[in-house]
Structure 1
Amino acid sequence: MTKAVIFDFGGVIIPSPIAAFSDLEENFHLPAGTIVSLNMENHHDNAWAKFERGEVSKEGFVNLFNEEAKRHGVEIDIGSLFSDYPRPEPHPEMISALEWLKGRYKLGLLTNNFATTSNRLALKPILGYFDVVVESSQIGMRKPEERIYQHTLDLLKADPEEAIFLDDLGINLKPAHKMGIRTIKVADPTSALEALWELLGDRSSK
């Protein structure tokens, strides 16, 4: 029996930030995928991970990331990401799904994010849909650390087999799946929601 549905934010409810990465890479004349590649280096303890756990300030993150990039021969100012690229609007299909799910299931939001004003403003319009909101920057844990999934389940008062988790990154889904949570890899809203309705036994969001 499903008791809880847990959503990621970026790449699930709103489009992936990868598009902003691509624009930034183009501005600095870098090969596509450079930022993601840098983030995969020492991915549990690099600048990105520390910022997502709230261990460094925005200024500290920018300095650390730019230094890490230089060590790999990459010249970039990651600070441009905060000023030049507004966060996109939520997918309408996901909002419709949340409206249908609310009250029928416990809803959780589990996001790796930065403790910035823009992130707080981006989350504000959708917070009312969720019973539980878990932000990495607020609790000092981040996906794919197993403890953050358990923390979310504890708040939702759900066992792993009673939950479904939607995320766009396989690396974040693997620990949840290993724990017994049913997972959906989100490539696009339509196919992800079809998979969700199938797991729930209801293929309509109306």
Structure 2
Amino acid sequence: MTIKAVIFDIGGVCVGSPMAGIHRYEEQHGLPRNYINVAIVQQGEHGAFQKLERGEVKLVEFYRDFGLQLSHPSNKEHYKAYLAKSGKVVPTSIPDVSVDGKELFTTMMSETARLDPDIFLAIQKLKESGKFVLAALTNNFDLPEDDLKEAEAMGASAGIELRKLFDFFIESRLIGLRKPDPKIYQYACKTIGIQPQEAIFLDDIGINLRSAHKLGMNTIQVKMGGSKEAVKQLEALTGLDLHSKIASKI
């Protein structure tokens, strides 16, 4: 089937990855690698992070609940199970963990203030070609309206720059759905006016890609630090040169 649309995740694809911020926070506070991510995932769809991305809670409430949930002792056992499943050494005990929800989230989102140059150029080239509908499909949240400095630190400017290039900008916070729920991909395809098989979807998170692939979408994983390889895969699917710089127009 002919490809008609290219759909991009934002955080970790078009801009820096919040996961890099998580790792930085863990290093700064002496926490085990991936402890926080395991704890976030373990909260399920009722976790503070998940609720924030569906637009169900405001930041102030989120900061409090986020910190409390990630500091809960039950996360230690989940982390041990993760290590065992990964074939890694499981410690007999893990010290108590205390997470400042606001500090962690600010550290995570500071990574998204940086546009990825390879992906950004690829989007510009796709736009220039006029051959594809371009869309963003992002799990996001309401930026602070009363603190411009805080909003800027969370990537506000990068988001504004990207919005100019997309024909559709689909946000979890506005529609009450978040990836990897299959309904959000169905919503995106209906909004764009395509079938899943007519789309290429780029994301950095495996579970999001697997859910999209099950519906028939063509998927590309953008691994941390691997945007150049992702662009090569996108070139193969679109038949376009997406890495040569755009000539200046005089």
TM-score range, shorter chain: over 0.9
For residue 99 of structure 1, report the CA deviation from its aligned partner: 1.0
Structure 2 CA distance for aligned equivalents of residues 14 and 152 of structure 1: 21
Would the aligned equivalents of 1:12 and 1:166 in 2 still touch at CA under 8 Å? Answer: yes
Is structure 2 residue 237 aligned with structure 1 residue 199? Answer: yes
Which runs of no fewer than 5 residues in structure 1 stay unpaired? none
CA distance in 2, matches of 1:66, 1:81: 8
CA–CA distance in structure 2, aligned partners of residues 178 and 97 of structure 1: 26
Q: When the two structures are superposed, what TM-score results if normalisation uses the length of structure 1?
A: 0.93
Quote the residue 1:168 is aligned against: 204
Q: Secondary structure at the match of 2:46?
A: coil
- Cα offset, 1:122, TM superposition: 3.2
What corresponds to 2:38 in structure 1? Answer: 37
Deviation at 1:82, TM superposition (A): 4.8
| In 2, Cα distance between equivalents of 1:50 and 1:82 | 14
**Number of residues paired by the alignment?**
206
Post-superposition offset of 1:21: 1.0
Alignment partner, residue 187 of structure 2: 151
The normalised TM-score by structure 2 is 0.77
Letter in 1 for 2:25: L
Instruction: Say what the alpha-carbon RMSD is for the aligned residues.
Output: 1.7
Which AA in structure 1 matches 2:191?
L
Conserved 8 A contact 1:28-1:75: no
Q: Deviations over 1:165-191 (max 9, x none)?
A: 000111101111000001011121111
SS in structure 2 at match of 1:79:
helix
Q: Aligned match of 2:167 in 131, 134, 144?
A: 131
8 Å CA contact 2:113, 2:156 repeated in 1: no
**CA-CA distance at 1:88 after TM superposition:** 3.5
Letter in 2 for 1:79: K
> Is 1:81 aligned to 2:117, yes or no?
no
2:109 pairs with 1:108: no
Q: Which moved more, 1:158-167 or 1:56-65?
A: 56-65
Structure 2 Cα separation of the partners of residues 44 and 174 of structure 1? 18
Q: Paired residue for 1:93?
A: 118
Alpha-carbon distance in 2 for matches of 1:174, 1:155: 21
| Cα deviations by residue, 1:143-196 (Å, 9 ceiling, x for unpaired) | 001111111111111111100000011110111100000101112111101111
Identity of aligned residues (%): 37
Is the contact made by 1:54 and 1:138 (CA closer than 8 Å) also made in structure 2? yes
Distance 1:167 1:198 in 2: 17
- For residue 28 of structure 1, what is the amino acid of its counterpart? H
Q: Distance in 2 between matches of 1:195 and 1:116?
A: 33
Q: Which amino acid aligns with 2:186?
A: Q
Cα separation, 2, equivalents of 1:202 and 1:140: 35
Structure 2: gaps spanning 5 or more residues: 74-95, 145-150, 245-250
Q: What residue identity is the alignment partner of 1:112?
A: N
